[in-house]
Amino acid sequence: MVMDNNGRTHEPAGTPHGGRFARRNGFGSDSDLDDFTRTRTYADLDHYWNDEDYMLEAQETDGPWESIDRDQAVDEQGTPYYERYAFSAPDDAYRQPDRTFSAKQMGRYADTW
């Protein structure tokens, strides 16, 4: 067991039990995750995810866009359910490209939880 900065103990990443900081869905290494949290994509996703003024929409491959709750975006392992995600404000006339994210981006964001 290892103790993190918050005083909680957990199995280290790479152990049979996975560990608190283990990769959940295979999107790169731990250092890739550290790099991702320093990106504009992470900052944007985190901002829109945590701002309840934005509605989350998702699209399956070649399917229509649908409104979803945030807990419907990824499964318990952090694997995205949809191909694309978009955050919309109530007064948006159309989906903003800078608020649209891929499944890979959503999966990498879920890895940070």
| Percent of all residues in the chain with a pLDDT value above 90, rounded to a whole number | 64
Helix H or strand E segment including 106: helix 103-110
Alpha-carbon gap, residue 82 to 4, rounded angstroms: 33
Strand ranges (DSSP E) for the chain? 2-3, 9-10, 55-59, 65-68, 84-88, 100-102
- pTM to 2 decimals? 0.69
8 A C-beta contact, residue 68 and residue 55: no
State pLDDT tens for residues 19-56.
444 444 444 445 566 688 999 999 999 999 999 999 99
